[in-house]
A and B are shown apart, each in its own frame.
Chain A
Amino acid sequence: MIPAAFGYTRAGSVEEALRILASDAGAKVIAGGQSLLPLMKLRLAAPETLVDIGRLAELKGVRALDDGRLSVGALTTYADLMDSEARNYGVLLDAVPTIGDVQVRNRGTVGGALAHADPASDLPAVLIALDAEIVLRSTGGERTVPAAGFWEGAFVTAMRHDELLTEIVLPAPRDAAGSAYASLQQLASGYAMVGVAAVVMVGPDGTITGAGIGVTGVSDHAYKATDVEASLVGTDGSAAAGAAAAAKVVGGRSVNADIHAGSEYRAAMAVVYARRAIEAALARLA
């Protein structure tokens, strides 16, 4: 379990990190190291140079913005996230404690997990359901990508090589919104074979006025289940309505298969866990 030899640079500032990324095509950013280092030790990854951003204080911590939105620095650890106002999002409260183990949650960073883009990672589904935004910076400036458009394939994102993921912005908590995350774990790795995050908003008469459904583990990247969302909106949130909406969660996508779960089982479980997530989100409203 010894990685191949690699170069190492510790960035003293975001700007320095961005300059290195812009100039070195072989550079790879490391933050908490909880995803990258195991891959390197197994020699499944062999980056030429690691750019360590782990000590950049400006990227750490959670703060409320003036408009009520929540800014999560990319280097915020899972543990710190759960010690912040982010706890108030039921969907995060469900999902984050299931990630890794105590050591991983103390060392692993939110931004690192998102950038790593494991197709079975829990957080992408959550951020998609919340309609979060992901902030990317390069020497050329800053841009914001909606979570639903960030993941493009297995370990592939909308981020360019010269960009650094610096911040995640969560929408302001809403009244009359409930959210939940339900997942079926691959027991050895703890990653999701199927994970569904649901956010539902209801009007004064109980009608569902908005929904966000994020799905992980099912396809080659986390996705926004727009058919489910559309099916839910306008209904009364009954069990039948939830089930009918959940049935659309796969929506003709190519479904992952491995030794732990074939595509048929995964697709069936996506429906079950979508329904359970919707039910749990609605239950939080009650």
Chain B
Amino acid sequence: MVTDVLGAPVKRVEDPKFITGKGRYLDDISMPGMVHLSILRSPYAHANIKAIDTSAARLAPGVLAVFVGADIPYNPLPMAWPAGGASGIQNNVNMPRVLATDSVKWTGEGVAAVVAETPEQAVDALDLITVEWEPLPTVVDAEKATQPGAPQLHENAPDNVVFEWAVGDKDGTDAAFAGAEVVVKQRLVNNRLIPNPMEVRGDIGWYNPGTDEYTIWMSSQTPHIQRLLLAAFVTGIPEHKIRCISPDVGGAFGSKIFCYADMALVMFASKAIGGRPVKWVETRRESYQSTIHGRDHITYVEVAATKAGDVRGLRVKTYANLGGRLSTIGPGIPTTLYGRILAGPYRIPNVHCEVTGVYTNTTFVDAYRGAGRPEATYVVERSMDLLADELGLDPAEVRRRNFLPPDSFPYDNPSGLLTAVNGSKLYIDSGNYEPAMDKALAMVGYADTAAKKAEAKARGKLLGVGLSTYIEVCGVAPSKWIGAVGEGWGAAMWESSNIRVHLTGKVVVTMGTQPQGQGHETTYAQIISHELGIPMEDIVIQHSDTQGTPFGYGSYGSRTSNVGTGAALKAAAKIREKARRYAAHMLEANPEDIEIDGPSYRVKGSPDKVKTIQEIAFALDLAFDTPEGMEPYLDETAYHDTPNCTFPFGTHVALVEIDEETGVVDLVRYVAVDDVGKKINPMIVDGQLHGGIAQGIGQALWEGAIYGDDGQLLTGSMLDYALPRASWLPAFELDETVTPSPVNALGVKGVGEAGCIASTAAVANAVIDALSHLGIRHLDMPYTAQKVWGAIQAAKGGQA
């Protein structure tokens, strides 16, 4: 009997190699004749390039070639998700070129590249390139960039505006505010973050002159998409002449979804030098400057409510900083993935959100873990606390009053938030918010908050409790909703799976999704084992190579657990059906009389007339006795387009203590009750939650990219950008409620982003709660000791 591993905390099959240092990441790959590329990056945030002299660099030891932008005939990188999609709103698009030609728009934009025999020679030769710069005025703040007189980055973008997008019911929202008993307003800054995957990005490009084909190894979440984009939009090289391979990917957090200039650069360079493989691996400093950043919103939020705490309207105006040029789907993040989920888990009848996308002299901004949804959660969860504070009500009770009741689902937001421009809708698939909140409040002892504060005060500490009752949209997405004619991602969003049961009974599964640490090789195997009754150790999951795996859109937005598994389930069902027909042939029965029990295909009523799937696969592969009309081999491919997204939810509660004398914030307890539906592997779910929670806490307490007014990145390395450390965090206390998603057969929702979406707002609310008795109603993140100390001093009328 095969043990059913679906839902079991199976140890990850990936871990032995990763833990023992036997993973094979991009920089582990070496091949005969391989050479190295290094990129000269702009020291200015805004400047015209008057001239570049590469003559000395060309003569440097080991140098094979030096390129500038004008040498490279490729197109600029593609814009795959303009704001508003097919709605026709104006997007003033400016995309990076492979190397900048006339001007640079942020410190770190690439302007020249050296290819040399060794990495050392390539880096040394960069120092020999001289660029004649004409520095230009800079602006780094998105709101200031739209003001009259601000430095202008692009001729086609007056006032540095990329787009002006709106969603929701403006008239209804205006009416709700006009008649409101209470209005609360606040300006909120969602701080800019640097993704910091453990493995930085890199590529190896190899042009084979013998076949006229290109192979690109890339640390990417989306090798299939990159092949498509590089072929159809950037290089003009036919798609079938390009192969993309993602080796083991050491973390990404969204930053490896995108099409980057370096991918095309290594292709061009390899061909230009006659076909030697060209490797480029970014330094951590380059990663900070020229791999995408996340968040960076300035938001004005207004809440209209009754005195009893019923929210009647939410009005939001956001300036989204998108950087000096756009990243692949930059405009889609602060629009579709932000404005459309602003109401959170609440029944808010009137919502209107305006978003202005803005160019500034900073690194481009795109999807970073949660991508728009953490920003939305921060807005609505801070709003709930601001309203509670204004009304003197308990924040938990304000949330309770406004939760969508459990009979609301599927829920169609009355403001039309989830309706794409082609009329295609998402519905919040399921939810039951109060039990999760009640469980979290009980775990944390919420009723004893006053006593906890008094006890802390006696120790000289200010204790604060903060809630975040989040929902998210994940498992992206129905193609007709998010595709080009719907919401504007210039692609569909289905997934693919191929399952082959070989002669020996072993199973090879190829997937279009692309892991970057999530444990796909374990979780897919658990599902296939459950579906086919074949032991997990007899199944291998393959991915990451456009040669040998079916096309897929990659992994982000927790789409693997909803969409990818949907494809795997369908392919497994096809395998079972073919096996059933062949078992009927072997057992001389009708297919409808064959019942399937795990690996066994048995004639109803004749328990001894049975064939196993391994026996069936053996016979079907040898094909010595295949009935008329049946193809040999047990091999099926399936594609799955999800009918809806999924909507995980939960309540997180943070307890902080603030040293009143120093402003140091200490996170002392963290409780999370998450409802991610059914779980394929609860251990992996817990791991995702732990990492996500830590990342969101990092945004609230420590992380923040800081630019000087001149556009220099002042937090340009880990010496100045504080990432969360395990020793700064309490042991997380996790629990769950389980509301299966009706969107997929497994009832799963996805958990890649949940922790990160929830935790930032929980910690922010806790910090403000700790300070609210001083009259402080809001501070912008991160809550550094200096900032908190300054606020305390100011509130007390001190020197600060």
* Cβ B721 vs Cβ A188 within 8 A: yes
* Cβ B786 vs Cβ A189 within 8 A: no
* Cβ A264 vs Cβ B784 within 8 A: no
A181-199 residues with Cβ-Cβ distance < 8 A to B are 184, 187-189
CB neighbours (8 Å) of A261 from chain B are 786
Alpha-carbon distance between A188 and B717 when the two chains are bound, in angstroms: 9
In the complex formed, the residue of B with least CB distance to A265 is B786
CB neighbours (8 Å) of A1 from chain B are 283-285
Q: Given A2-B120, A264-B799, are A188 and B790 neighbors across the interface (CB < 8 Å)?
A: no
* Cβ B124 vs Cβ A5 within 8 A: yes
Alpha-carbon distance between A93 and B358 when the two chains are bound, in angstroms: 51
Alpha-carbon distance between A268 and B786 when the two chains are bound, in angstroms: 10
Main SS at interface, chain B = loop
Interface core residue of A187, A260, A272 (most chain B CB under 10 Å): A187
A112-161 residues with Cβ-Cβ distance < 8 A to B are none
Q: Given A42-B717, A259-B714, A259-B715, are A184 and B785 neighbors across the interface (CB < 8 Å)?
A: yes
CB neighbours (8 Å) of B538 from chain A are none
B784 in complex: contacting residue of A4, A42, A260, A272, CB < 8 Å: A260
CB neighbours (8 Å) of B283 from chain A are 1
* Cβ A268 vs Cβ B120 within 8 A: no
CB neighbours (8 Å) of B789 from chain A are 265, 268-269
A2 in complex: contacting residue of B123, B714, B721, CB < 8 Å: B123
* Cβ B664 vs Cβ A184 within 8 A: yes
CB neighbours (8 Å) of B721 from chain A are 188
Instruction: Tell me how far the C-beta of A3 lies from the nearest C-beta in chain B, rounded to whole angstroms.
Output: 9
CB neighbours (8 Å) of B718 from chain A are 188
Interface bracket on B: 20 to 34
The answer, yes or no, to whether A262 is at the interface (CB within 8 Å) is yes
| Per-position 1/0 for A42-71, Cβ under 8 A of B | 100000000000000000000000000000
In the complex formed, the residue of A with least CB distance to B715 is A259
CB neighbours (8 Å) of A268 from chain B are 789, 799
Q: Given A187-B722, A188-B720, are A260 and B786 neighbors across the interface (CB < 8 Å)?
A: yes
CB neighbours (8 Å) of A42 from chain B are 285, 717
Q: Given A187-B702, A264-B800, are A269 and B123 neighbors across the interface (CB < 8 Å)?
A: no
Q: Given A5-B124, A184-B664, A187-B702, are A260 and B720 neighbors across the interface (CB < 8 Å)?
A: yes
The answer, yes or no, to whether B65 is at the interface (CB within 8 Å) is no
B116-157 residues with Cβ-Cβ distance < 8 A to A are 119-120, 123-124, 127
* Cβ B661 vs Cβ A272 within 8 A: yes
CB neighbours (8 Å) of B790 from chain A are 265
Alpha-carbon distance between A197 and B580 when the two chains are bound, in angstroms: 78
Alpha-carbon distance between A265 and B661 when the two chains are bound, in angstroms: 11
* Cβ A259 vs Cβ B720 within 8 A: yes
CB neighbours (8 Å) of A5 from chain B are 120, 124
CB neighbours (8 Å) of A260 from chain B are 720, 784, 786
CB neighbours (8 Å) of B799 from chain A are 264, 268
Alpha-carbon distance between A262 and B789 when the two chains are bound, in angstroms: 12
Alpha-carbon distance between A2 and B36 when the two chains are bound, in angstroms: 13
In the complex formed, the residue of A with least CB distance to B706 is A259
A258-286 residues with Cβ-Cβ distance < 8 A to B are 259-262, 264-265, 268-269, 272
Alpha-carbon distance between A265 and B788 when the two chains are bound, in angstroms: 11
The answer, yes or no, to whether B590 is at the interface (CB within 8 Å) is no
B728-777 residues with Cβ-Cβ distance < 8 A to A are 728
Alpha-carbon distance between A114 and B87 when the two chains are bound, in angstroms: 64
CB neighbours (8 Å) of A265 from chain B are 785-786, 789-790, 800
CB neighbours (8 Å) of B285 from chain A are 1, 42
A189 in complex: contacting residue of B119, B127, B720, B728, CB < 8 Å: B720
Alpha-carbon distance between A244 and B790 when the two chains are bound, in angstroms: 23
* Cβ A188 vs Cβ B786 within 8 A: no
The answer, yes or no, to whether B408 is at the interface (CB within 8 Å) is no
* Cβ B722 vs Cβ A262 within 8 A: no
Instruction: Tell me how far the C-beta of A48 lies from the nearest C-beta in chain B, rounded to whole angstroms.
Output: 15
Q: Given A188-B718, A189-B720, are A262 and B119 neighbors across the interface (CB < 8 Å)?
A: no
| Per-position 1/0 for B703-730, Cβ under 8 A of A | 0001000000011011111110000100
Can you give 25 contacting A-B residue pairs, CB < 8 Å? A2-B119, A5-B120, A5-B124, A42-B285, A42-B717, A184-B662, A184-B664, A184-B785, A187-B722, A188-B718, A188-B720, A188-B723, A189-B720, A259-B706, A260-B720, A260-B784, A260-B786, A261-B786, A264-B800, A265-B786, A265-B800, A268-B789, A268-B799, A269-B789, A272-B662
Given contact pairs A1-B283, A188-B715, A259-B720, enumerate 20 new A-B contacts (beta carbons under 8 Å): A2-B119, A2-B120, A2-B123, A4-B127, A5-B120, A187-B722, A187-B728, A188-B720, A188-B721, A189-B720, A259-B714, A260-B786, A262-B786, A264-B799, A264-B800, A265-B790, A265-B800, A268-B789, A268-B799, A269-B789
- A-B complex: 7 closest residue pairs judged by Cβ atoms: A188-B722, A187-B722, A189-B719, A265-B786, A2-B123, A1-B283, A259-B714
